[in-house]
Structure formats: structure tokens, C-alpha cells
Homo-oligomer: A and B are copies of this chain.
Amino acid sequence: MARPTPLSGFPEWLPADRIVEQHVLAALQRTFELHGFAGIETRAVEPLDQLLRKGETSKEVYVLRRLQEDTPWTTAAEAVDAARAADDRQLGLHFDLTVPFARYVLENAGHLAFPFKRYQVQKVWRGERPQDGRFREFVQADIDVVGAGELPGHYEVELPLVIAEALGSLASIGMPPVRIMVNNRRVAEGFYRGLGLDDVDAVLRSIDKLDKIGPDAVAELLVAEAAATPEQATACLDLAAISGADTGVVDRVRDLAARHGVVSDLLETGLGELRALVAAAAQRAPGVVVADLRIARGLDYYTGSVYETVLVGHEGLGSICSGGRYDTLASDGATTYPGVGLSVGVSRLVSRLLSAGLVRASRSVPSAVVVAVTSEDTRAVSDAVATALRARGIPVEVAPTAAKFGKQIRYADRRGVPFVWFPGLPAGTADDGSTVGATADQVKDIRSGEQVEADPATWEPPAADRWPQVVPAV
């Protein structure tokens, strides 16, 4: 077969880059677990009718079909119709982890303790046109907390702070700081309705385009699509222009509302929630969380706080972590399960960390040591050294062949393995002229060339060399 070419939108990493991704995932997981989130995983597929509940995402779904199914395939339109019929089990790949989680909660409600805090790290699939930072297959890392019937508002404060801590823990590997921008749907809805604009979704959809098309075009959109007067459109844009990292933003929104004669209990409720979030964040993650009244979030299921996150200096990449409060995503009729959650776009983040040359792994393999093989007849001696080192948690591999020692050293060097171990055997001389073997084992740091006698039962590599390190690339 000819050499295959990559599939656009389906990223894969070389081994050293995969070590970076594994480090990012492990750091996120550790923070989530320190905060008591339980890890779950859901299947990759959901019934198509579930995936299509929110019509506007339907374009992104990959539908599955077994190759040997008896029934002939239908057109795409027929597939949608069929899936919407009650007992059709046509399957599609999930496009996020929120819809599967809502289904998991309903399916297992009797076995879960509420409020239920979970994290979930999995691939998702969207049949979109691939772009920089936008993939067809990518990894998301989600945290959510879901209550049965009710969910206290303090979780809307807690969850973005967990994300701030998780992403902040990556500063040591060279990741830039993040800015988490927060808003509250109740503020926006209360303000719009108080202005006299009742098609709140249309206003949000227009405001959501600010970054892409600018304020003038958004003003036109508001007039055209949300039935706004030019004055109402200006007021919406004035609201969207408010941002700040302290509770002063709340006062500015209130002033703006007063100037336009807006009186709204919903607005007041939202402002109280926004104030609590900003105040807590200023104390617990200073400089990270910013109230930004422009944040709209396209999805219509959010009902309270909403969040978007940018990598400072890489704002053009788009949000690397988004989410919000939802009150009605999951309901089995008897009970509604409100929740709040955020989703980290791991592939988007890792892809940028690598392509921008910010982060690298110190080597491409786990091994800290390559044990040399003097001759195939004595491979068992080398295997025994490796076994002794591994028994003390040192990652080791044995050289593939009893080549000249110079070649065995190059085997280690090409992979970035720092140490080569020469088992104690009848004395010999390595390619580089150093004495090897004799009676005692010797270990060589191939970076410095330093070679010392060593005992596999006691030798330790420096702590920084034991496992591959993920470090700033510059």
C-alpha cells in the first residue's frame, strides 16, 4: 500500500507530542478529582433523535450504519425523519459530552447521589469544515454538577474557579494564562425584555456575532432580525461593551438600565449572581475571571451564568473552554435536573501549544534507561538488569540487538533516553573508547558522557530524568 496521507480535521500526535497531551489530560484530571468530581465515560453513540433535539446542531452529526445491515440506505432527509420517529434506534456519534451526560443522568438517576459532580474526558465528532483549531474529531474535558430538582447557585461560582485552577496548573509547562469571561443570561434577558425586546434568542444570536462582524453590522442585524429600533440596538451594544474584573461592572449595568428606564426583577436576580461570581473570583483567582456582557453563547439551553475562555495572546484561536448554567436540559417528566458545567477543548488547546512552539516533551519514549546487550547469548543478563530497575519504578528498555555499543548509544540518543546501562561482563571497549563491563555494571549519562559503576538494585536516576518531563519549549 502507498504511504497514506493525513485526514483533514482528524489530528494525531507523534509520540513526543502525545506525551504533552497526556500531561495536559493528567493535570486536568488531577484538579477535577481534587475537587471531588467523579470520572465517568459514556458510549460514543446516541440515538439520532436525541442528538437532533436541538435542530441547529444537526448539520454536525455523523450517522452510523452497519455495512451489512439489510435495509437499504435512505436519503439524509429520510434518515432525519426516521430518527425522529419514536422507536427508531438509528445511531450517531456524539458531538459534545453534555447531551450524553444528560442522558446518562436520566438513565441512571436511581443509582446516582445528587448533586452529582462528574468529569468526562472523551473524543467527540462534528462533521464541520476543518479550520485552524477546529477539528472533526477532538478531545473534550468536561466538568458538570447536576442536581435533582434544584441546584444551589454557588456552583456557578465554583465551576469556573475549578477550571481556572486546572488550566492555571499548566503554567509550569509553558501554557499562557487564560481569561475566563463570564456573563449571566438573566442579565441579558432581563435587560432586553426591559427594553421592550421580546425575541431574546434573536438578540443573543446577533450579539454572539460581535467578534465576527463588528458592532455596526450587529446593530443592523438587531433591527432586521430582532425587531429592534436603532435606539434599542444601541442600548444592546452599550450593554455588550461593559466588562471588568471587579463588581463595578454590576453598577455600570445598573446605570445603563436606569438610563433606558429598564426595570426588571430578572435583571436584578442576574446581577446578584454575577456580582457573587465576580467577587469570589477576584479573591480566589485574581485576574483570571472577567465579567464581559458581550458573552452570549449560541446554545439556547443556558439559563444563568455563561462562560467563555481565551488563551491570552491567542484570542484568535477562539474559546478553549465554554459552558454555563442550564435548568432544563434533562428531565424525565417527574424530575428536572438543572446543572452547570464547562467543557475544555483539549485538542484545540494542545494543538496550539504544539504548533506555536510553546511546550515540548523532554523525550519521545517513557524509558529513562536503555540497557545495552553485549551479545545475544547474554541478553538474559541485560533483561535481568532491566527487571531489577523496573521493580523500583524506573522505566527501562533493553537494546534491540547486540550491535556495537556506539550504535546502541545512538538508539538511546535518537529517542532522548538519558542513560545507557552496560551490564557487568568480561571487559570490553565501547566504540567511543570508554571502558565498559569489567566486573561491575556501569551506567553512562549520554548527555555528559559521564560513566560510573552502578548496581541495578540501588541506582536511581535524577528525579527529573525518571519520567519524560513536559516543559516550556523556549
Contact = CB atoms under 8 A, between A and B. Distances in A.
Interface of A: 1-7, 10-15, 18-19, 21-22, 33-45, 47, 50, 58-59, 61-69, 72-76, 79-80, 89, 91-93, 103-104, 106-109, 111-113, 115, 117-118, 123, 125, 127, 137, 147, 152, 154-155, 158, 280, 284, 330-333, 364-367, 376, 379-380, 383, 387, 390, 393-398, 400-401, 411, 414-415, 467
B15 A38 contact: yes
A329 to B, nearest CB: 10
Contacts of A59: 67-68
Contact of A3 (B12, B43, B107): B107
A12, A61, A396: residue with the most chain B Cβ atoms closer than 10 Å: A12
A401 B115 CA distance: 10
A113 B415 contact: yes
A76 B80 contact: no
Task: Count copies of this chain in the complex.
Answer: 2
Contacts of A37: 365-366
A203 to B, nearest CB: 27
Contacts of A91: 7
Contact of A34 (B41, B117, B390): B390
Contacts of A65: 62-63, 65, 76
B45 A332 contact: no
A395 B36 contact: yes
Given A4-B106, A39-B366, A284-B387, 8 more contacts: A11-B43, A19-B38, A34-B396, A35-B396, A67-B79, A68-B76, A117-B365, A147-B400
B36 A4 contact: no
Given A12-B104, A33-B395, A127-B66, A18 B38 contact: yes
A58 to B, nearest CB: 6
A394 B401 CA distance: 46
Given A73-B75, A333-B2, A7 B43 contact: yes
Given A15-B39, A37-B366, A67 B61 contact: yes
A33, A58, A74: residue with the most chain B Cβ atoms closer than 10 Å: A33
Counting from the closest, the 7 A-B pairs by CB-CB distance are: A36-B397, A73-B73, A66-B127, A36-B367, A33-B366, A10-B43, A15-B38
A42 B19 CA distance: 14
Nearest to A8: B89
Contacts of A125: 44
19 contacts: A4-B106, A7-B47, A7-B91, A12-B40, A14-B112, A18-B39, A36-B365, A44-B44, A44-B125, A58-B67, A59-B68, A61-B67, A64-B93, A65-B76, A67-B79, A72-B75, A73-B75, A113-B414, A154-B376
